[in-house]
Amino acid sequence: MVWLLLLAIVSFSGGAWEITVAFTTDLHASLPRFPALEELLRGADLILDGGDTWEDPRHFTDAFAAWEAMRWMAKTGYSAMVLGNHETYLGPRLLGRILGEALFPVLATNLRADFPTQRWVLLERKGVRILLVGVLWDLAMVWPGWEIRDPLAAILEVLRDAPEHDLFILLGHLDTERAKKLAEALPVKPALFILGHDHKMYEEPLWVQGVPIVQAGSFGKAVGFAVLSDRGLQSYRLVKVPQPATLPGPPPWLLALLILFLFGIRL
């Protein structure tokens, strides 16, 4: 009887695990704010990103900013990200080069293109097999030769083809209402749905049929933390990040050209 009790205890403890997930969303190449983010992100079992990280026309980011953002993610130890619509604005050539040198997987489950993105990735942390899937949709630029498929159909294909796993995490770069419908329609529910695109900051998860949808705002204002176990989401918190630096505005020469244009002055 004693041996049976000990065996039961060992079996129970052997099956229990906890994974800490840190995530960012919609960073938009906010390079001055990255050092503060890095201090918070390090130490998590998984570091994930919800897309729109490498580009932002509102702050006149360029190829340099895109490359620097990708390299910072690699240095910080990001586990994976999902492609956002702003990444597609970089154009096929530049985006393809950056993707080719990224040291972490970039997910685009529902994108058909000749690109080094991945439909899914299987990672292992603490002996736990973690399936990561990532879809994009709203406002993405569809270049010649590209096809963006229905997110639900693409995810169902992955769930059918992917190897065995213990934990399923979904990354999505799409509107909240579309994400809610997707969570409702999925027959296999993710343990966590990290959402980017509409720059919302969820102090608490948005629960949809047992799926916790989370989002950490934009421009590096916060980092999200979720602790997952074999029993689901155990805890969630959003940590606000100090903002000592302002984002750079347009260069003076560009403002000068804009003024000349507005007043109809030709050079």
- Residues with Cβ < 8 Å from 138, sequence gap 6 or more? 85, 173, 174, 175, 178, 197
pLDDT in the model for residue 13: 45
Q: Is the per-residue pLDDT at 102 higher than 90?
A: yes
Rounded to an integer, what distance in angstroms lies between the CA atom of residue 179 and that of residue 201? 15
Rounded to an integer, what distance in angstroms lies between the CA atom of residue 170 and that of residue 184? 13
**Domain locations in the chain?**
18-262
Range with lowest mean pLDDT among 78-87, 94-103, 241-250: 241-250
pLDDT in the model for residue 169: 99
Q: Is the per-residue pLDDT at 7 higher than 50?
A: no
Rounded to an integer, what distance in angstroms lies between the CA atom of residue 193 and that of residue 48? 11
Q: Is the per-residue pLDDT at 1 higher than 70?
A: no
Range with lowest mean pLDDT among 3-12, 132-141, 147-156: 3-12
Q: What average pLDDT does the segment 197-219 reach? A: 97
> Which is higher by pLDDT, 148 or 248?
148
Confidence of residue 255 (pLDDT cuts 50, 70, 90): low
pLDDT in the model for residue 252: 53
What is the percent of the chain with per-residue pLDDT over 70, rounded to a whole number? 85
Q: What average pLDDT does the segment 221-250 reach? A: 86
What is the percent of the chain with per-residue pLDDT over 90, rounded to a whole number? 80
Confidence of residue 104 (pLDDT cuts 50, 70, 90): very high
In this predicted model, what pLDDT tens digit does every residue of 18-42 receive, in sequence order? 999 999 999 999 999 999 999 999 9
The mean pLDDT value of the chain amounts to 89
- In this structure, the strands spanning 232-240 and 222-229 are antiparallel
Which CATH superfamily includes the segment(s) 18-262? Answer: Metallo-dependent phosphatases (3.60.21.10)
Q: What average pLDDT does the segment 95-103 reach? A: 97
Q: Is the per-residue pLDDT at 70 higher than 60?
A: yes
